[in-house]
Amino acid sequence: MIINHPLLGPRDSAEFVYLGDATLIDRPDWQSETALKDFSDYAYLRDNPAGEHRELWFHEGGDRSWLVVTRNTLTHEISKVELARDVARARGRSK
């Protein structure tokens, strides 16, 4: 499997480490009234789609960037690769 790194081009997936669902970027607000439930959901609940899935990968054997990879869980086809920091900033995160 080849992951097309947005900066470095096509790289072997063996250089990467898989973390999980990209919704981990959306960490809940700890000061919220519903923080307990929010964090419980954040930590334990995952969608398990048969099809397109957005997930976090770490380029451990490369430039050590975090990526958001859109992968089809049925075919392993990778349709989109973004830098996780760009995705996080687009969602209003400061870092």
Contact track, other proteins, 61-80, x by CB under 8 A: xxxxx---------------
Residue among 20, 15, 9 nearest 81 (CA): 9
In terms of DSSP H, where are the helices of 18-91? 35-44, 84-90
By CB under 8 A, tell whether 1 contacts other proteins: no
Beta partners for residue 78, in sequence order: 71
What is the closest distance, in whole angstroms, from the C-beta atom of residue 42 to other proteins in the complex? Answer: 24
By CB under 8 A, tell whether 83 contacts other proteins: yes
| CB of 64 or CB of 91, closer to other proteins | 64
Beta partners for residue 55, in sequence order: 21, 69
